[in-house]
Structure 1
Amino acid sequence: MEPVMEHPPIGDLSEYPASSVDGPIVVANEFADVVVRRVETRNGMRLDIWSPRRGTRIQLDAVALDCLSYQAPDLITELLVRRPAP
């Protein structure tokens, strides 16, 4: 299934839910856990994603997140198949 890009009419504002979470968000299941938080850098706002189990971290800007949002599910599956370096 191909991703569908929506284009709101000019001047139409999307309604985003008000965020009441100031601290980090933990997303976890039996296979992984990550800590997600918004950080301000000298180059602008980033989404900081940290994996405590692996000790890895990445900071993504809005362009990177937007690009990630329209990738085919097959690409994400392919990324999951690869074993990260220890």
Structure 2
Amino acid sequence: MPQKTPSGDRPEAGALLTDPHVTGDQDGPIVIANEFADVVVSRVRTRNGMRLDIWSPRRGTRVQLDAVELDCLSYQEPETFTAMLERTPGG
């Protein structure tokens, strides 16, 4: 089954969107954007528990991360992210 995406091609930074697959007590997805990228972040309930859903409207890509994956991000050195940014997406 294809995933539903929040409405709007390029939402404004800080906008609250209606996303039908987001559940729980919350105001809605969060848009984080600057001149280089914009992402829509929301909490989703899956059959394997809660995930953080990160959607890139510009690229049309999405990833869902669980608590262990998010925790792993929290102890990475800044150089890890620098190396990730040097790679070509999808390459």
- Structure 2: any 5+ residue segments left out of the alignment? 1-24
Higher relative contact order, structure no. (Cα contacts within 8 Å, ≥ 6 residues apart): 1
State the TM-score, normalizing by the size of structure 2.
0.70
Give 1:75's match in structure 2, choosing from 55, 77, 80: 80
Q: Please give the root-mean-square deviation of Cα atoms over the aligned residues, in Å.
A: 1.5
Give 1:43's match in structure 2, choosing from 48, 57, 75: 48
User: What is the count of residue pairs matched by the alignment?
Assistant: 67
CA positional deviation for 1:21: 4.3
Give 1:29's match in structure 2, choosing from 1, 11, 34: 34
CA distance in 2, matches of 1:64, 1:35: 18
- Structure 1: any 5+ residue segments left out of the alignment? 1-19
**Bigger radius of gyration among the two:** 1
CA positional deviation for 1:22: 2.2
CA distance in 1, matches of 2:90, 2:49: 29
State the TM-score, normalizing by the size of structure 1.
0.74
Partner of 2:70: 65
